[in-house]
């Protein structure tokens, strides 16, 4: 009787443990939970456990839990040792308000007090808080080694005592701009029912929240609109311009770059995760050149993390660098390999044996973090669910493509943004036993969606030029000849789904991709890529050798020429040129930081490439 009771209890105990674990997507292989619910990857009777190390930092921690007091504000950053630097942000007094840091205080037990009465009395009251009782204090958290961890903002009311009120720490940003609509969005550090006023019309949140995303509709083409963001008793005012009526064929400019993960040399080149120094210069240059939008395709941050809150901190640091310009000009961000968010399986020495996109996908995948961190058009494919390898048609076994694969248009130009780091398992090209997406590989459902989208845009009489962009070069030239869409010519490389390799290898899939762009389209002009931290261009013609020796598969018919424009020079540490079969056709190779500016004038497109740091020209070419 006693034994039976014990057995029943044990079974109940094991079942309840199993109930606490999340279903492992059927698209993976050799991934299991152990008796205590710990996730592991099994290979040759060996178990490699998922890294459960805590995050170094989180975004929530950097918000500093501000508390008002009689003389000022106390911020608390938990375990961080270092320094707090602070000063006012003059919203409304400058078109691109930035904090003017004026004072610093050591963090003691992670805390610092900003004494407003003492620090910001005359002649330091540049925002008039002594009259209005309103101020926004920008703060910078610096660790003990001098690395900048975060630039934040706390909004304050009162003349002493002081009260903390909801602050916008991220945004406001303008996105999804069309000829008659736009989306304005921002994040606040505490819930508030915010609104945006455009053209005397008010668009409001339904409930108090921290992520605010308001669709502005009923606008006129090619018109500048002021917008006023109201949050509690505070407001900020900026403006944006709608796109011209599709097919107007008026001259305009757009900007392209990628790869801005943090670099060396200290200062703002390493604001935890992002090269904020170069990104800010890129934002300023794009805005100064009147860019209608900035397309940025992958590796915004250092990333490769296992914790979502830490990933959000790095992405916020990246956005903050562009924020002063993004108030006015949309920025569209695509996914790269560094945006990976994984379960990382380690050996006993602590080395990573394999890693996979984190699940449950809807809550914690790299794709979900991208969707939470950015606002992009939601017109892409659903996911890779339902592809011919999907092991379980009734369940979701792949992350979403929502807002990481999409397209948009501006006048007579269409931009198709693809994800060549989808469902990314960083080691899968060497360790396929886990299954997972492979760097550089465009999977089946994405390719099917691309075909449909190209067909639609080919028929659209308002569109003259189609640009494609994905993080990985079709033809790597420096830094990634060993992977991207080439793998040194090794077509064996491919993703694995549920333990099985997919049918088409990387070179075959590259050729299918190019076949769509070249032979299914007359409008595709160029593929904009990154990943390699340099600038170069390559004109693909039938003269260019794109195959390894003795390639056994069907070869591509290059019936017309297209360009590959690689610009991964937005601040990540450089890569020099390597040798590839197409090297003699690779032009204008440069490791200077670079912004590509496309000047579209009806049927003509000219590109200028400018160093955003020094403003010298790197390259110029008429593309069409
Ligand atoms: Fe990359």
DSSP count for the chain of H helices, then E strands: 10, 35
pLDDT in tens, 239-295: 999 999 999 999 999 999 999 999 999 999 999 999 999 999 999 999 999 999 999
Measured CA to CA, the distance from residue 203 to residue 217 in angstroms comes to 9
Torsion of CA 140, 144, 149, 155, to 10 degrees: -30
Burial track 423-461 (b if 16+ CB lie within 10 A, e otherwise): bbbbbbbebbbbbbbbbbbbbbbbbebbeebbeebeebe
Number of other residues whose CB lies within 10 A of the CB of residue 542: 11
Residue 238 has pLDDT above 70, yes or no: yes
> What tokens does 132 get?
């209005």
pLDDT > 90: percent of the chain:
96
Q: Could you tell me the CA-to-CA distances from 18 to 14, 15, 56 in Å, in that order? A: 6, 5, 29
- 536 C-alpha to ligand 1 centroid (Å): 16
**What pLDDT does residue 264 have?**
95
If 0-12 CB within 10 Å is exposed, 13-18 middle and 19+ buried, where does residue 143 land?
A: middle
Residue 6 has pLDDT above 90, yes or no: no
pLDDT in tens, 532-549: 999 999 999 999 999 999
- 424 C-alpha to ligand 1 centroid (Å): 12
- 230 C-alpha to ligand 1 centroid (Å): 38
Segment 42-62 shows an average pLDDT of: 94
- 218 C-alpha to ligand 1 centroid (Å): 39
- 349 C-alpha to ligand 1 centroid (Å): 27
End-to-end CA distance of the chain: 85
**What pLDDT does residue 327 have?**
98
**Nearest of 225, 151, 236 to residue 186 by alpha carbon:** 236
Which residue is listed with tokens 């619910």? 37
- 142 C-alpha to ligand 1 centroid (Å): 27
**What pLDDT does residue 21 have?**
85
- 151 C-alpha to ligand 1 centroid (Å): 25
- 154 C-alpha to ligand 1 centroid (Å): 34
- 299 C-alpha to ligand 1 centroid (Å): 5
- 531 C-alpha to ligand 1 centroid (Å): 4
Quickly state the pLDDT bin for 186 (edges 50, 70, 90).
very high
pLDDT in tens, 336-345: 999 999 999 9
- 485 C-alpha to ligand 1 centroid (Å): 12
Quickly state the pLDDT bin for 13 (edges 50, 70, 90).
very low
- 575 C-alpha to ligand 1 centroid (Å): 11
- 472 C-alpha to ligand 1 centroid (Å): 7
**What pLDDT does residue 10 have?**
46
- 260 C-alpha to ligand 1 centroid (Å): 10
Q: Which helix (H) or strand (E) holds 513?
A: helix 506-519
Q: In what order do the strands lie in the sheet with 252-257?
A: 331-334, 294-297, 252-257, 595-601, 604-610, 617-622
- 440 C-alpha to ligand 1 centroid (Å): 10
- 274 C-alpha to ligand 1 centroid (Å): 13
- 473 C-alpha to ligand 1 centroid (Å): 10
Q: Say which residues have a Cβ less than 8 Å from residue 351's Cβ, sequence separation at least 6.
A: none
Quickly state the pLDDT bin for 20 (edges 50, 70, 90).
low
- 442 C-alpha to ligand 1 centroid (Å): 15
Q: Could you tell me the CA-to-CA distances from 413 to 255, 316, 459, 470, 595 in Å, in that order? A: 13, 29, 13, 17, 19
Quickly state the pLDDT bin for 611 (edges 50, 70, 90).
very high
Segment 34-57 shows an average pLDDT of: 94
Which residue is listed with tokens 């996911």? 383
- 567 C-alpha to ligand 1 centroid (Å): 11
pLDDT in tens, 74-131: 999 999 999 999 999 999 999 999 999 999 999 999 999 999 999 999 999 999 999 9
- 214 C-alpha to ligand 1 centroid (Å): 32
- 194 C-alpha to ligand 1 centroid (Å): 37
Quickly state the pLDDT bin for 9 (edges 50, 70, 90).
very low
- 570 C-alpha to ligand 1 centroid (Å): 12
**What pLDDT does residue 1 have?**
40
Residues 114 and 105 sit within 8 Å (Cβ to Cβ): yes
Radius of gyration (Cα) for the chain, nearest Å? 25
Q: Could you tell me the CA-to-CA distances from 270 to 61, 99, 276, 301, 307 in Å, in that order? A: 19, 18, 7, 10, 20
Least confident of 3-17, 64-78, 453-467, 593-607: 3-17
Q: Could you tell me the CA-to-CA distances from 351 to 50, 57, 346, 348, 429 in Å, in that order? A: 11, 22, 5, 7, 17
- 302 C-alpha to ligand 1 centroid (Å): 10
Task: Give all strands (DSSP E) within 3-119, no chain letters.
Answer: 31-33, 39-43, 46-50, 67-68, 72-76, 82-88, 103-106, 111-115
**What pLDDT does residue 18 have?**
46
The DSSP call for residue 360 is S
Threshold 0.85, pTM exceeds: yes
- 529 C-alpha to ligand 1 centroid (Å): 10
- 479 C-alpha to ligand 1 centroid (Å): 10
Least confident of 15-29, 122-136, 542-556: 15-29
- 489 C-alpha to ligand 1 centroid (Å): 19
- 259 C-alpha to ligand 1 centroid (Å): 7
- 309 C-alpha to ligand 1 centroid (Å): 21
- 336 C-alpha to ligand 1 centroid (Å): 5
Measured CA to CA, the distance from residue 316 to residue 170 in angstroms comes to 7
- 3-state SS string for 211-240: EEEEEECCCCCCCEEEEEEEECCEEEEEEE
Residues 299 and 337 sit within 8 Å (Cβ to Cβ): yes
Number of other residues whose CB lies within 10 A of the CB of residue 512: 17
- 337 C-alpha to ligand 1 centroid (Å): 5
- 426 C-alpha to ligand 1 centroid (Å): 11
Q: Say which residues have a Cβ less than 8 Å from residue 163's Cβ, sequence separation at least 6.
A: 68, 156, 157
Quickly state the pLDDT bin for 423 (edges 50, 70, 90).
very high
Segment 611-622 shows an average pLDDT of: 98
Mean pLDDT of the chain: 95
- 258 C-alpha to ligand 1 centroid (Å): 9
- 67 C-alpha to ligand 1 centroid (Å): 40
Query: Crossing angle, helix 366-373 and helix 308-326, to 10 degrees?
Result: 30
- 217 C-alpha to ligand 1 centroid (Å): 36
**What pLDDT does residue 11 have?**
43
Residue 17 has pLDDT above 60, yes or no: no
- 487 C-alpha to ligand 1 centroid (Å): 14
Task: Give all strands (DSSP E) within 147-289, no chain letters.
Answer: 148-157, 163-165, 168-175, 182-192, 195-198, 201-204, 209-216, 224-231, 234-241, 252-257
- 572 C-alpha to ligand 1 centroid (Å): 10
């Amino acid at each position: 009787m006693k034994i039976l009771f014990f057995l029943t209890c044990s079974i109940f105990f094991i079942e309840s443990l199993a109930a606490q674990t999340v279903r492992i997507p059927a698209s993976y292989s050799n991934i299991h939970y152990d008796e205590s619910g710990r996730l592991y990857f099994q290979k040759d009777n060996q178990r490699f456990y998922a890294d459960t190390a805590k995050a170094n930092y989180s975004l929530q921690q950097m918000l500093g839990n501000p508390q008002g007091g009689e003389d000022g504000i106390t911020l608390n950053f938990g375990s961080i040792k270092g320094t707090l630097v602070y000063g006012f942000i003059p919203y409304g007094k400058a078109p691109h308000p930035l904090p003017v840091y004026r004072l610093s205080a050591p963090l003691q037990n992670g805390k610092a007090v900003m004494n407003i009465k003492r620090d910001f009395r005359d002649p330091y009251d540049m925002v008039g808080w002594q009259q209005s009782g309103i101020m926004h204090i920008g703060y910078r958290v610096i660790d003990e080694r001098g690395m900048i961890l975060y630039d934040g903002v706390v909004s304050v009311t009162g003349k002493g005592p002081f009260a903390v009120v909801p602050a916008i720490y991220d945004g406001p940003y303008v996105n999804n701009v069309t000829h008659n609509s736009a989306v304005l969005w921002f994040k606040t550090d505490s819930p508030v029912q915010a609104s945006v006023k455009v053209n005397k019309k008010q668009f409001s949140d339904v409930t108090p929240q921290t992520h605010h995303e308001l669709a502005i509709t009923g606008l006129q083409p090619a018109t500048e609109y002021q917008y006023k963001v109201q949050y509690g008793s505070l407001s900020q005012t900026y403006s944006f311009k709608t796109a011209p009526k599709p097919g107007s064929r008026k001259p305009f400019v757009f900007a392209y770059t990628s790869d801005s993960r943090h670099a060396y040399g200290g200062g703002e080149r390493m604001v935890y995760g992002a090269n904020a120094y170069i990104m800010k210069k890129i934002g300023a240059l794009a805005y100064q050149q009147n860019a209608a939008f900035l397309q940025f395709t992958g590796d915004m941050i250092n990333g490769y993390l296992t914790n979502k809150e830490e990933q959000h901190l790095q992405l916020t640091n990246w956005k903050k660098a562009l924020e002063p310009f993004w108030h006015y000009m949309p920025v569209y961000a695509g996914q790269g390999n560094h945006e990976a968010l994984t379960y990382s399986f380690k050996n006993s020495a602590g080395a990573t044996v394999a890693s996979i996109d984190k699940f449950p996908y809807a809550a914690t995948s790299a794709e979900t973090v991208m969707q939470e961190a950015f606002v992009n058009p939601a017109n892409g494919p659903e996911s890779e669910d339902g592809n011919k390898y999907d092991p379980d048609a009734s369940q979701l076994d792949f992350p979403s493509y929502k807002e990481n694969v999409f397209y948009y248009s501006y006048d007579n130009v269409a931009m198709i943004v693809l994800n060549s780091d989808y469902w990314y398992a960083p080691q899968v090209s060497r360790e396929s036993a886990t299954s997972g997406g492979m760097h550089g590989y465009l999977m089946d459902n994405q390719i099917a969606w691309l075909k449909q989208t190209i067909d639609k845009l080919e028929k659209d009489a308002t569109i003259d030029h189609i640009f494609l962009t994905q993080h990985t070069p079709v033809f790597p030239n420096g830094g990634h000849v060993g992977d991207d869409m080439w793998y040194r010519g090794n077509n064996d490389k491919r993703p694995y789904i549920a333990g099985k390799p997919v049918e088409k290898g990387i070179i075959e899939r590259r050729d299918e991709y190019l076949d769509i762009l070249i032979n299914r389209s007359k409008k595709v002009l160029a593929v904009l890529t990154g990943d390699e931290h340099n600038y170069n261009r390559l004109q693909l013609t039938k003269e260019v050798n794109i195959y390894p020796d003795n390639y056994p598969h069907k070869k591509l018919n290059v019936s017309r020429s297209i360009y590959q424009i690689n610009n991964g020079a937005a601040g990540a540490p450089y890569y020099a040129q390597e040798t590839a079969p197409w090297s003699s056709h690779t032009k204008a190779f440069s490791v200077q930081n670079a912004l590509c500016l496309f000047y579209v004038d009806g049927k003509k497109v000219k590109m200028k490439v400018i160093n955003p740091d020094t403003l010298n020209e790197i390259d110029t070419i008429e593309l069409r």
